[in-house]
Amino acid sequence: MGVKVRRKASFHRQFNGDYIDVRSNPYLMKILRKQGDKEVLFADKVLKFTSTGKMKRRILMITDFAIYIVDPEADALKRRIALAAVEKMCLSELSDNFFAVIIPTEYDLLMASTRKTEIVTVLVEATKSASDYELEVCFGNSFEYNADAELVKEVQFEEVEGGVKTRILRK
């Protein structure tokens, strides 16, 4: 397992959980009522990477039972993933915003968020509470993920002057 480089600002950041005020959004509340989830542990806008490499703005909600991906422009639930279906999370060792959620029974999620540290913490704790196992968190400057059912991609991270260079390649 690698060692993660963190931004100075993320060391003492307070976790808020709900950055989009889910309770004031009738569509999001309807989803939660329909699915029976009791508690929103995290909610914020993120960038999700599609299998074709496009970035899409999405709402990421983590509840006591599932991960939700919602299209905020169309008010459309794109995906619900039970916490028990998540195998691990992959992150680089560098100070970037990327993370992958690995789901062996489906295709994986590659996303970016300035609140990555909080997302990882919430997912690890929620998975432990919901299914009584410790979610594996892997660190490396490259990792693979299933962009869709038949497409594996590799994400590579390289430290360059002034930041981190990220490449997403087909395998």
CATH of the domain at 59: 2.30.29.30
Residue range(s) defining the domain that contains residue 55: 14-170
- Bridge partners (DSSP) of residue 3 are none
In a domain, 8, yes or no: no
Q: What are the distances in angstroms from CA 168 to CA 44, 110, 153, 171?
A: 24, 10, 7, 10
In a domain, 159, yes or no: yes
pLDDT score for 9: 54
In a domain, 7, yes or no: no
Helix (H) and strand (E) counts for the chain? 3, 11
In a domain, 9, yes or no: no
In a domain, 130, yes or no: yes
pLDDT score for 171: 86
3 state SS of 105 = coil
In a domain, 4, yes or no: no
3 state SS of 37 = coil
Q: Could you give the number of structural domains in the chain?
A: 1
In a domain, 28, yes or no: yes
In a domain, 151, yes or no: yes
Q: Per-block average pLDDT, block size 10, for the chain (171 residues)?
A: 52 76 96 94 98 96 97 97 97 95 97 96 95 93 96 96 94 86
